[in-house]
Amino acid sequence: MSGPRGIDLALDLARMPALAHSIGKPALPSDIFEVMQIATASPEVCQLAARTTGQPPAVLVEAARFYLQQVLLRAAADPYRVLGLTPGASRELARSHLRCLLQWLHPDVNKDLDSIYTERVLKAWREVSVNSDSARSSNSRARGRPGKGVRTPANSGLRLRMPWIEKPQKKMRKGRVRVRLANPVGVGIAAGVLLLAVVIALYAVQSG
């Protein structure tokens, strides 16, 4: 972990609370979530911090809460700062920070003045959540657009113009001989007349 630990910064500020008005907007320690857990009086995290700092858990809890009030929950803090996040943090991380802060600030748990910050934390969560949804939606649309040099799938709904497919070739009819069948009724009459002529001729020959 690079940089000083968050709980050490909190203890330094607790020893010199007058510096709270001149610290400006300090960078968040990488273990800010641990400071939040100490503010909730988490037994396991407090015991571990007590062993590394040599301070009793009660002192650590008060120092962590004062630090969060001055660094995260000050009036000019933006929504990400209120939740202890850097801009662009994921929705999942924002939710975990929200839950941890509410364990300390919720009026059902904390009857002290710290509970007045609950509304600010919830408002910050709503804004960060909306920003995360907008960014995810924009990324989804960007991934869905075909870029330069990207082939369009055959089932994408875009019609590709292929004139040799769209225009079917005309059937060639040259050289084709069409044979019309004679009328079967006319053929029958002609055959009957010819037969009658043959019979008459034979009768004339026999009579002569």
- Using CA atoms, how far apart are residues 91 and 182, in angstroms rounded to an integer? 88
Integer angstrom CA distances of residue 25 from 2, 17, 60, 77, 201: 19, 16, 22, 8, 135
Domain that holds residue 81: 6-141
Does some domain include residue 11?
A: yes
Model pLDDT for residues 150-174, shown as the tens digit of each residue: 444 444 443 434 343 344 445 445 5
| Total tally of structural domains belonging to the chain | 1
Any domain includes 172:
no
Classified as helix, coil or strand, 71 is helix
Average pLDDT on 99-125 reads: 85
Whether the full predicted model's pTM is greater than 0.85, yes or no, is: no
* Structural domain contains residue 207: no
Q: How confident is the model at residue 75 (pLDDT cuts 50, 70, 90)?
A: confident
- Residue 19 is given by DSSP the state G
Distances (CA, A) of 85 to 78, 81, 129: 10, 6, 12
Joined together, the tokens standing for residue 54 give: 């040599």
Residue 119, in any domain of the structure:
yes
pLDDT average, residue stretch 68-76: 91
Q: Tell me the H-state helices in 111-166.
A: 118-144, 163-166
Angle between helices 91-105 and 118-144 (to 10 degrees): 170
Q: Is residue 14 part of a domain?
A: yes
CB atoms closer than 10 angstroms to residue 88: 9
Whole-number Å distance between alpha carbons of 97 and 37: 9
